[in-house]
Chains A and B, each alone.
Chain A
Amino acid sequence: KAGVTQTPRYLIKTRGQQVTLSCSPISGHRSVSWYQQTPGQGLQFLFEYFSETQRNKGNFPGRFSGRQFSNSRSEMNVSTLELGDSALYLCASSSQGEWPQHFGDGTRLSIL
């Protein structure tokens, strides 16, 4: 089975721009969750989707949003980028009833 795939691997943006990150879960997995990883804050939960519905949301501003498609692929969008949004964004997938155990390599976002 192919693992969780995140694209792109690296992104460089400037303040004020917006960005879209993509996550393809393991085949058959319908739950996708997103995490932000920074040196100062560690890993923080952003949101979780199951069957195209957002089931849970972390404590992030409304500039962070996401969606999930019928094929379970998920996208995360960040608008009006700020310097503090520089981070590694990780995606995890799981099958129903399981915890998020399969992580992707992440997308490293750098804001200039």
Chain B
Amino acid sequence: AQRVTQPEKLLSVFKGAPVELKCNYSYSGSPELFWYVQYSRQRLQLLLRHISRESIKGFTADLNKGETSFHLKKPFAQEEDSAMYYCALYAKSSGDKLTFGTGTRLAVRP
């Protein structure tokens, strides 16, 4: 069975500080990993996909298969980054479903 773990429920940083949201997964095959973001009163939206290896809104995430991690990073946090962040795993062999972590609330203080 697949599992996604986000160990921090809340991460509070000051504006301009670096941010790292942790995500670890367990899955025996080759999964696809994603980060989703949910801003206050907005719908859940895709932030990053590991396959695309791109930077969105200054965020990056690298899949580390050895450590089974997919941490989300940003060098300088902005107040508008305050939101709920979910790490998710997609494994085609397990059917078309996403397995989500429990989420980390990022609070960026001025």
Binding site for B on A (CB under 8 A): 3, 31, 33, 35, 41-45, 48, 50, 55-56, 58, 90, 92, 94, 99-101, 103-106
Q: Which of B40-74 contact A (CB under 8 A)?
A: 43-46
A33 touches B86 (CB 8 A): no
Q: Which stretch in B22-30, B75-83, B92-100 binds the other chain? A: B92-100
Q: Other CB < 8 Å A-B pairs besides A56-B97, A99-B34, 16 of them?
A: A3-B43, A31-B96, A33-B97, A35-B98, A35-B100, A41-B102, A42-B100, A42-B102, A43-B88, A43-B98, A45-B98, A48-B97, A55-B96, A94-B96, A99-B90, A103-B43
Chain A interface mostly = strand
Lowest 7 A-B CB distances belong to which pairs?
A56-B95, A43-B100, A42-B102, A99-B90, A103-B44, A45-B97, A105-B43
Give, as a whole number of angstroms, the nearest-CB distance from B49 to chain A.
Answer: 8
Of listed B32, B34, B94, B96, residue having the most chain A CB within 10 A: B96
Chosen A-B contacts, 26 in total, with CB atoms closer than 8 Å, are A31-B96, A33-B97, A33-B98, A35-B98, A42-B86, A42-B102, A43-B86, A43-B98, A43-B100, A43-B103, A44-B100, A48-B96, A48-B97, A55-B95, A55-B96, A56-B94, A56-B95, A56-B96, A58-B97, A90-B44, A92-B98, A94-B96, A99-B34, A99-B98, A100-B96, A101-B46
The chain B residue with its CB closest to the CB of A57 is B95
Distance in angstroms from A82 CB to nearest chain B CB is 22
Given contacts A48-B96, A48-B97, A56-B96, contact A106 B43 (CB under 8 A): yes
